[in-house]
Amino acid sequence: MRERKTVTVLAPAKLNLALDVVGLLPNGYHDLDMTMQAITLYERVELRRSAGLYLALPGSRVAANDKNTAIKAALAFFDYTGLLAGVDITVHKAVPVRAGMAGGSADAAAVLVGMNELYGARLSMSELCALGAKIGADVPFALMGGTCRVRGVGDFLRPLPPCPD
């Protein structure tokens, strides 16, 4: 089997079809009950094996620094797997920033999925979702995709039948 040097992952945006605040959790966060839908608007995330860690966001005004969810995802992946490696990440942004469409969360999910493939780590969806939840509330949904009922702070997901066209 040939070692992969690059991986490209599409990172779909999402819409909240329903969002209800059903309470307040002991940690101060809102307890939510939502229906989320992945949509066909997406960002393209390219990952390439490297010795370091680098993020490029061509044409975007989003900062390419350690606060970016793509970098947080890469660091979480390396910390969890113990791999001593690096990755160059290029995110081609298309989702409106701060529009509630989970562009950054989708990027983080794409990085986790892509690095899992790039490095053959074979992490399960449960492991990826647990890592993703530490990065952002929408990351587990971005990993699952489709149509889901999402509860808590985004940590309880139940797949639903697809929405009609």
List pLDDT tens digits, range 38-79.
Answer: 999 999 999 999 999 999 999 898 889 999 999 999 999 999
What CATH fold (topology level) applies to the domain 6-159?
Ribosomal Protein S5; domain 2 (3.30.230)
d(C-alpha 126, C-alpha 115), whole Å: 16
Q: Does residue 138 have an active-site annotation?
A: yes
Q: Does residue 67 have an active-site annotation?
A: no
Q: How many residues does the chain have?
A: 165
Catalytically annotated residue among 5, 14, 31, 33: 14
pLDDT of residue 165: 77
Side chain identity, residue 73: A
Across the range 17-37, mean pLDDT stands at 93
pLDDT of residue 84: 92
The DSSP symbol for 98 reads T
Tell me whether strands 86-92 and 53-56 are parallel, antiparallel or unpaired: parallel
Share of the chain above pLDDT 70, in %: 99
Side chain identity, residue 112: L
When pLDDT is cut at 50, 70 and 90, the band that residue 1 belongs to is low
Catalytically annotated residue among 72, 93, 107, 138: 138
pLDDT of residue 2: 65
